[in-house]
Chain A
Amino acid sequence: MKRPKTRARVNLDRRDFTKIAATAAGSSLAAYLVTTGPLSPFANLKQQQLSLNDDTHGPVSGPHWGMAIDLNKCIGCEYCQRACSAVNDVAPDKPWNIVVEDRTANGQKFYFSRPCLHCQHAPCVEVCPVKATYVREDGIVIMDYDRCIGCRYCEVACPYDARKFNWEERTDENPYVPTWGVPEVDRRPRGVVEKCTFCVHRIDAALERGQTPGEAREATPACVNVCPVAARTFGDLNDPDSPVSEVLARYPTIRLRDELGTQGSVYYIPAGEEPTP
């Protein structure tokens, strides 16, 4: 049986048309206002997102603290790890700085050391459910130990294994004190995550005194000061005359897993055939 053809007729008078047009215009205006426009509760967020997408994110004016590590110079003495553990009173089995033996692709032995890389697009900062860790204006990624709930998502998310959790209340004697330095910060309480701070307490105090981190010893991270072969340099990446900028200008450097877009503040001079002149 053949179906009778039905013809749909649309009756639209001018009034209906005006109504529809007005509704459409009104909704799009409202949508704009509450999503990205001035009425939006997320307007700040949007701005933040936009600025995050900006490649030149990070400190636009003012310093951006960074470090360079020369893998050709490093002799694997672990002094950086010890001084760091003493000054920051870090548990000996959960060091913030690590030093390991490694080999290049063609078998040449070298020593690899790693602090926190202080990423400008830090995966750990993105995932924290309570904003207990954040990137400061000067590029340093630090923890708010009073806010951390100890979920350890940041530890899971860090591509560099740079975060350590306080599984228990610490009562241990720090074996590196006083030989390698004395504690300058409090021990972290049980149940929070901790990490390398670029010795932020030194930087903040020194800036108030008018000293330059990376040049004045009191203003420079303990690992940089203690290195017997000066494999580590520290300073303001935005200042072309800082020690770290000079190293970056002279040698080709890489950042660890740069393809992840983490934008770390620590640069490496890779181990090569020839020692760095």
Chain B
Amino acid sequence: MTSITLRKRRFEFTPGTIFWFGLIGLLLFIGIVSALIVFKEGLVVTNLTNTVPWGLWITIDLSSIALGAGAFTLSAVVYIFGIQRFRSIIRLAVLVGVAGYTSALLTLVMDIGRPDRFWHPWVYWNVHSVLWEITWCITLYLTIMLVEFAPVIVESRFFNNRPGLRRFGHQLHKVAPFLAVAGLLISLLHQSSLGATYGIIKARPIWFKPSMPIMFIVSAIAVGPAVTMAVAYILEWVSGKRTVAHELLRTIARFSGLGLLVYAYIKFWDLLAVTYYGATPGSELAFRTLNLFTPYGFGFWVGEVFFGILLPVLIFLLPRFNRKPALLVFGALSAAAGILINRWNVTVSGLIVPVSYSPGTEYMLPPQAYTPALIEWGVALGVIGYIFLVFTLASRFLPIFETSEETQKLS
């Protein structure tokens, strides 16, 4: 009974909450104004060009989907591998997934030239296109996550006097194992296809390699759960209630650390194969251009390798560090930043090296430059505001830290 009275507590205006909601309001305002300008004027207001047609927004899409990967990883752990002690974090993981995937879709709608035709991939199929497959997978997987999350919503106090709906929600919960299997397959497919989006482009030598989808999925599996772990700690600090056992969160951190080691291993051989042993004329020229004219070499070693892999691996795996929640959260944020920097590097570095096609001669465009326009940052801030809003509302109004069985007993 106590938990019900706790959930019914009144909303209070403290300086902290006023500041927090003010911040969310400001971010959303900036985002909405930027979005309206983009819809009105067209993508010409961005700094994207015909040589660099993808930029910050695609980076956000790729990163938020990768960082939402905790949902399918932890669902698989509980429902497929049957490790029940992770059950208490499933709902949070799915919430992180929903937040990540919906922000990706929001950004994607901004990024396409004809947002009014967003539904075309569902109707006009090109089964050869990885982007078509990704669109379908994301749609299906978002649906799966919403079905998985539906019991949480019907258990909230808004539905206290709708027992029929609540029963339906619990019925839905029974299909969770099947959803987890479908979700696992679909997620494995589209998380790697996001890498394949680049990996199959034979026109661009530094993208065209079979390791691309593998690196994308391994990094997503490694870092996604760590992000869920960090969100659990942060919500605990904010609400002052211990919600998920620290030992469990520490296990997730260790899992992420091992995952990052696998990622580092694949990345090491990829780097060696492409730049040292491979060094085909195309990739040699592309890397020389990048190293001479751009900071992408620095971004790789410092952003992806040091902050994205080394630092979090040490924090997650060394016992002297991984007992400190603050360090674990820092490690997860560092790893998440590594994902963001990696997705940015992959996208932009591949595009700013111009394609070379002139017959056996020196014709080569100068390397292009791309820095996001203010309006692109504006949309990005709006997405961050949206994510803050989702977590604030969900942690305040939804029973995300209880398992279905507990709430059934209570009600």
Contact = CB atoms under 8 A, between A and B. Distances in A.
Interface in A223-277: 254, 256-257, 260, 268, 270-271
A28 to B, nearest CB: 22
Interface string B42-83: 111000101101100000000000000000000000000000
A13 B51 CA distance: 69
Given A129-B131, A149-B113, A168 B358 contact: no
A151 B109 CA distance: 10
A149 B112 contact: yes
B41 A256 contact: no
Interface in A117-151: 123, 126-132, 147-151
B114 interface: yes
Nearest to A256: B357
B38 to A, nearest CB: 11
Contacts of A100: 358, 363
B355 interface: yes
A128 B129 CA distance: 6
B357 A161 contact: yes
Contact of A150 (B51, B112, B197): B112
Nearest to A192: B113
B85 interface: no
B101 to A, nearest CB: 17
Contact of A45 (B127, B131, B358): B127
Contacts of A260: 202-203
Given A123-B201, A159-B355, A192-B113, A153 B131 contact: yes
Given A127-B130, A150-B114, A157-B203, A105 B361 contact: yes
B54 A149 contact: no
A123 B53 contact: no
Interface size class of B (residues with CB under 8 A): 35 or more
Among B127, B128, B204, B363, which residue has the most Cβ atoms of chain A within 10 A? Answer: B128
B132 A129 contact: yes
Given A127-B131, A190-B42, A147 B361 contact: no
A231 to B, nearest CB: 15
B118 to A, nearest CB: 7
Among B120, B197, B200, which residue has the most Cβ atoms of chain A within 10 A? Answer: B120
Among B50, B121, B363, which residue has the most Cβ atoms of chain A within 10 A? Answer: B50
Contacts of A190: 42, 113
Given A102-B363, A159-B202, A260-B202, A149 B355 contact: no
A113 B160 CA distance: 71
Contacts, number: 144
Contacts of A104: 360-361
Given A149-B117, A158-B203, A168 B41 contact: yes
Interface in B21-53: 41-44, 48, 50-51, 53
Q: Chain A binding site: helix, strand, loop or mixed by DSSP?
A: loop
Contact of B359 (A159, A169, A192, A268): A268
B50 A164 contact: yes
A160 B355 contact: yes
B42 A152 contact: no
A268 B129 CA distance: 30
Nearest to B123: A130
Interface string A160-194: 11011111110000000000000000000011110
Given A104-B361, A123-B201, A160-B357, A94 B114 contact: no
Contacts of A155: 50, 53
B11 to A, nearest CB: 42
A195 to B, nearest CB: 11
A103 B135 CA distance: 44
Contacts of A165: 43, 50, 53, 113
A79 interface: no
B378 to A, nearest CB: 18
Contact of A149 (B43, B50, B51, B121): B121
A84 to B, nearest CB: 17
A156 B351 CA distance: 8
Interface in A47-98: 71, 94
B125 interface: yes
Interface in B108-149: 111-114, 117-118, 120-121, 124-132, 135
18 contacts: A42-B127, A103-B363, A126-B129, A128-B126, A129-B132, A130-B121, A130-B132, A151-B112, A151-B113, A152-B54, A155-B50, A159-B203, A165-B113, A168-B41, A168-B42, A254-B359, A256-B359, A268-B359
Smallest CB-CB A-B distances: 5 pairs: A150-B113, A191-B113, A159-B203, A168-B44, A129-B132
Given A102-B358, A127-B200, A150-B117, 12 more contacts: A94-B50, A112-B359, A130-B126, A131-B126, A147-B117, A147-B120, A149-B113, A165-B43, A165-B53, A167-B42, A192-B114, A270-B359
